[in-house]
């Protein structure tokens, strides 16, 4: 029992210590003073920096970063890259945010997803890449990914991967029950009803509520729930027409018990994807590699089709996930860091990225014949990239995320998730989410308006 007592004390201390570390970081927020004026560099400066003995630190978790770094070091032997995986998603952002607030300890380059980018860009933690001439690269990337890194007139990251949404479906399940592949959301709901009636264990899709999915669905429906005005004024409106359109469809699936109650990315989820009890997935174009590894048993059964739409024939989709790489203001060697971005997110890096299962954001790769015509054996030989590349062109423009999206997403399950749990009205959930998000924004000093 003594042992236990000591354990508790250590545990308390560890908790307190972790608070302390966070607190230390919190207290020195003013440490990162922006170096006023242009801190950019010309192409010659960048080339020179890449030919000087330097060490760059890169934080990221994308598996493609490793081969990219290897190739980079081979090309620029004088630059040494320390690639560190400090966590995935939120864990990574927490560490990054702490380092930014502490005023030291941040890497030179960090992987940042599109939905987290505003948080770092608008808090003045990232280098505006326009100063390095990034504006010229605009045409190299798809419009939607370029739009995602373009915030308040600055360019804060170079896109790496993208996730235009499409519908992944089980051809065998649809065939078995004689259901045609839905192209509109109304057909999708009908297909869901038919499928569940024919086989009570089968569901049209699984969804227990996911912030990224919800925002992408609202995006596709034409909603613009988050608008930014400068860096301190935001408007949150999860009751707009787009949001209503989505809930109009999704409420039907939810209330009629047509959604598999299995949580995404869980073991059960992969089993459902393998055995056909989850018949479709509306998800980003980066999914194929996950299906191949997670649901290997269903090889040959999955196909890809365009995302269903609200109006027949009017193609529309949204980005789901994806991100790029950014240069931190704290970096001591911004020119070399930008040089790394040019490589990793440019033609050379994106080829390596695509070859390692990533879905690119670079138009050259998306248009290449080899990429478009690649037949994927897992998908029964379908040329899935044709569908996915078309999706990348059909992304509805004009979307933006909040400068505190990561927190907003963390309280999603407290609000919208409750509507999912009780099979209630998603509109009520969205309203609660909107209010909780707005409240947090106000606490953080933003001027927040809601509908």
Partner 1 sequence: MTTTSPVADAPPLVQSRKRAGRWMGWAFVGPFMAVFLLVFVAPVLYAFYLSLFQNQMVGGDKFVGGANYLQALGDPQFWDSVIRVSVFLVVQVPIMLFLALFAALALDSGRLRASSFFRISVFLPYAVPAVVATLMWGFIYGPRFGLFGSINDFFGLDLAEPLSSSWILASIGNINTWEFTGYNMLIFYSALKVIPAELYEAANLDGAGTFRVIRSIKLPSIRGAIGIASIFSVIGSFQLFNEPNILKALAPNSISSYFTPNMYAYNLSFAGQQFNYAAAISIIMGVLTVIVAYVVQLSGSRKDA
Gap between the Cα atoms of 391 and 378, Å rounded? 20
**Is 4 a binder of partner 1 (CB under 8 A)?**
yes
The 3-state DSSP class for residue 313 equals coil
**Is 296 a binder of partner 1 (CB under 8 A)?**
no
**Is 17 a binder of partner 1 (CB under 8 A)?**
yes
Q: Looking at 407, 425, 449, 450, which residue binds partner 1 (CB under 8 A)?
A: 407
Helix H or strand E segment including 306: strand 302-306
Gap between the Cα atoms of 117 and 324, Å rounded? 9
Q: Looking at 130, 177, 271, 393, which residue binds partner 1 (CB under 8 A)?
A: 271
Within 8 A by CB and 6+ apart from 392, the residues are 142, 144, 162, 164, 285, 361, 366
**Is 259 a binder of partner 1 (CB under 8 A)?**
no
Is the CB of 196 or the CB of 334 nearer to partner 1? 196
The 3-state DSSP class for residue 62 equals coil
**Is 421 a binder of partner 1 (CB under 8 A)?**
yes
Work out how close the CB of 103 gets to partner 1 at its nearest, in angstroms, rounded to a whole number.
12
Which one of the spans 175-183, 242-250, 291-299, 416-424 is the region binding partner 1 (CB under 8 A)?
Answer: 416-424
**Is 34 a binder of partner 1 (CB under 8 A)?**
no
Gap between the Cα atoms of 210 and 216, Å rounded? 10
Work out how close the CB of 15 gets to partner 1 at its nearest, in angstroms, rounded to a whole number.
7
**Is 23 a binder of partner 1 (CB under 8 A)?**
yes
DSSP per-residue string spanning 336-366: HHHHHHHHHSSHHHHHHHHHTT--B-BHHHH
Q: Looking at 61, 71, 86, 90, which residue binds partner 1 (CB under 8 A)?
A: 90
DSSP per-residue string spanning 79-137: EEEEEE---STHHHHHHHHHHHHHTS---SEEEEETTTHHHHHHTT-B--GGGGTGGGG
Which one of the spans 175-183, 191-199, 237-245, 259-267 is the region binding partner 1 (CB under 8 A)?
Answer: 259-267
Gap between the Cα atoms of 65 and 26, Å rounded? 30
Work out how close the CB of 410 gets to partner 1 at its nearest, in angstroms, rounded to a whole number.
4
Is the CB of 6 or the CB of 451 nearer to partner 1? 6
Work out how close the CB of 374 gets to partner 1 at its nearest, in angstroms, rounded to a whole number.
33
Gap between the Cα atoms of 311 and 2, Å rounded? 68
Q: For the chain, how far is it from start to end, CA to CA, in angstroms?
A: 56
Binding positions for partner 1, rule: CB under 8 A: 1, 4-5, 8-13, 15-17, 19-20, 22-23, 25-27, 29-30, 90, 94, 97, 101, 123, 208-209, 231-232, 260-263, 265-268, 271-272, 277, 403-404, 406-407, 410-411, 413-414, 417-418, 420-422, 440, 443-446
């Amino acid at each position: 029992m003594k042992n236990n007592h000591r354990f508790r004390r250590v545990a308390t201390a560890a908790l307190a210590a972790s608070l302390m570390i966070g607190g230390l970081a919190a207290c020195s927020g003013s440490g990162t003073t922006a170096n006023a004026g242009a801190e950019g560099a010309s192409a010659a400066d960048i080339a020179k920096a890449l030919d000087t003995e330097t060490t760059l630190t890169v934080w990221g978790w994308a598996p493609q970063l490793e081969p990219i770094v290897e190739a980079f070091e081979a090309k620029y032997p004088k630059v040494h890259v320390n690639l560190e995986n400090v966590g995935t998603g939120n864990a990574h952002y927490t560490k990054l945010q702490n380092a930014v607030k502490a005023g030291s300890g941040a890497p030179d380059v960090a992987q940042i997803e599109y939905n987290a980018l505003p948080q770092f860009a608008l808090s003045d933690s990232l280098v505006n890449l326009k100063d390095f001439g990034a504006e010229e690269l605009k045409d190299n990337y798809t419009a939607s990914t370029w739009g995602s890194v373009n915030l308040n007139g600055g360019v804060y990251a170079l896109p790496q991967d993208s996730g235009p949404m499409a519908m992944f479906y089980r051809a065998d399940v649809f065939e078995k029950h004689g259901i045609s592949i839905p192209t509109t959301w109304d057909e999708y709901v009908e297909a869901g009803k038919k499928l569940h009636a024919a086989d009570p264990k089968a569901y049209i899709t699984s969804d227990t509520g996911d912030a990224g999915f919800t925002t992408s669905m609202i995006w596709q429906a034409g909603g613009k729930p988050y608008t930014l005005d400068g860096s301190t004024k935001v408007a949150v409106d999860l009751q707009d027409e787009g949001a209503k359109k989505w809930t109009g469809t999704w409420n039907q699936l939810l209330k009629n018990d047509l959604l598999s109650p299995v949580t995404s990315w869980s073991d059960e989820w992969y089993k459902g994807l393998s055995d056909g009890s989850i018949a479709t997935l509306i998800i980003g174009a980066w999914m194929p590699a996950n299906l191949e590894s997670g649901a290997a048993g269903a090889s040959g059964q999955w196909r890809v089709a365009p995302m269903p739409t609200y109006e027949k024939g009017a193609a529309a989709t949204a980005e789901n996930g994806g991100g790029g790489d950014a240069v931190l203001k704290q970096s001591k060697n911004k020119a070399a860091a930008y040089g790394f971005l040019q490589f990793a997110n440019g033609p050379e890096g994106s080829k390596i990225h695509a070859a390692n299962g990533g879905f690119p954001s670079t138009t050259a790769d998306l248009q290449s014949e080899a990429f478009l015509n690649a037949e994927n054996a897992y998908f029964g030989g379908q040329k899935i990239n044709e569908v996915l590349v078309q999706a990348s062109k059909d992304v509805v423009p004009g979307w933006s995320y909040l400068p505190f999206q990561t927190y907003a997403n963390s309280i999603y399950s407290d609000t919208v998730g409750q509507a999912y749990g009780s099979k209630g009205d998603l509109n009520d959930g969205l309203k609660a989410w909107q209010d909780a998000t707005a409240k947090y924004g106000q606490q953080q000093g933003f001027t927040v308006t809601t509908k």
